[in-house]
Amino acid sequence: MNFEQARFNMVEQQIRPWEVLDFGVLDVLMSVRREEFVPEAYKGVALSEAEIPLGHGSTMLIPVIEGKILQAVQVKASDKVLEVGAGSGYFAALLAAKADWVRTVEIDPVLVNMAHDNLKRYGVENVIVEEGDAIRGWPSNAPYDLIVVSGGVPFIPETLLQQLKVGGRLFAFVGEQHLMTAQLATCVAEGKYSTESLFENAVPMMRNAPHKNAFSF
């Protein structure tokens, strides 16, 4: 299979038509080899619009959504990033291509090993993979310039928002299983946040996502 041609087609036919036009984002999507981060049985569809299962109820986000997230969060070279949910390690690799460092925290030990092995084999050195539940925050290296939640949540936990630096951004899919809005929250001052709704899309809910009747911010 000609992966380079398939990667070009992914960017030009899937991602760019959905108004992902940031050249820096498109360059990263062209340079990080997605096929290196999918299970062996799915390498042939790694650059397609197919939802790729990772096992244990987890799937990779489709390429156009990955592109839209990257465009929304505008990763800077100085950014310290927390990713909640490592999956296969691919999105952490995309973030790491533009950030200072990325800490990706995954609740499923099998996926922890998958992400760690994929990133190590691919030669990504500025990502640390840890096992745990970071949906309410990961304080050991807070505050962060950027937090990305890789699945759906009913609301953004306040404890997670509190781990942003002033000027920091948090991306999450907020809502119910079939009705979610991609949101970008920015810490505009100590304890104050502005939230922008970007686009609608349904993604799998995060495991251990907070309940709706819990306090939300």
Which pLDDT tens digit goes with each residue over 45-81? 999 999 999 988 899 999 999 999 999 999 999 999 9
- Residue 7: CB atoms within 10 A of its CB come to 20
Note the pLDDT tens digit of each residue in 106-127.
Answer: 999 999 999 999 999 999 999 9
Answer yes or no: is 105 within a domain. Answer: yes
| pLDDT higher than threshold 80 for residue 168 | yes
* CA–CA separation, 80 and 57 (whole Å): 29
| pLDDT higher than threshold 90 for residue 216 | no
Answer yes or no: is 168 within a domain. Answer: yes
State residue 210's pLDDT score: 84
Answer yes or no: is 213 within a domain. Answer: no
Residue 39: burial class (beta carbons within 10 Å; 0-12, 13-18, 19+): middle
Instruction: Give the CA count within 13 Å in the CB-facing half-sphere of 172.
Output: 27
Tally the domains of the chain.
1
Answer yes or no: is 211 within a domain. Answer: no
| pLDDT higher than threshold 60 for residue 217 | no
Note the pLDDT tens digit of each residue in 75-87.
Answer: 999 999 999 999 9
Answer yes or no: is 88 within a domain. Answer: yes
Residue 211's pLDDT band, with cuts at 50, 70 and 90, is confident
Mean pLDDT over the full length of the chain: 94
Which pTM was predicted? 0.94
| DSSP assignments along the chain, one per residue | --HHHHHHHIIIIIIGGGT---HHHHHHHHHS-GGGGS-GGGGGGTTSS---EEETTEEPPPHHHHHHHHHHH---TT-EEEEE--TTSHHHHHHHTTSSEEEEEES-HHHHHHHHHHHHHHT--SEEEEES--TT--GGG--EEEEEEEEEESS--HHHHTTEEEEEEEEEEEEETTEEEEEEEEEEETTEEEEEEEEE---PBPTTPPPTTS---
Q: Of 54, 76, 17, 39, which Cα lies nearest the Cα of 151? A: 54
Boundaries of domain holding 180: 3-200
CATH number of the CATH domain containing 141: 3.40.50.150
Residue 213's pLDDT band, with cuts at 50, 70 and 90, is low
* CA–CA separation, 66 and 83 (whole Å): 13
* CA–CA separation, 23 and 141 (whole Å): 30
- Residue 131: CB atoms within 10 A of its CB come to 14
Answer yes or no: is 208 within a domain. Answer: no
State residue 215's pLDDT score: 45
Note the pLDDT tens digit of each residue in 130-167.
Answer: 999 999 999 989 999 999 999 999 999 999 999 999 99
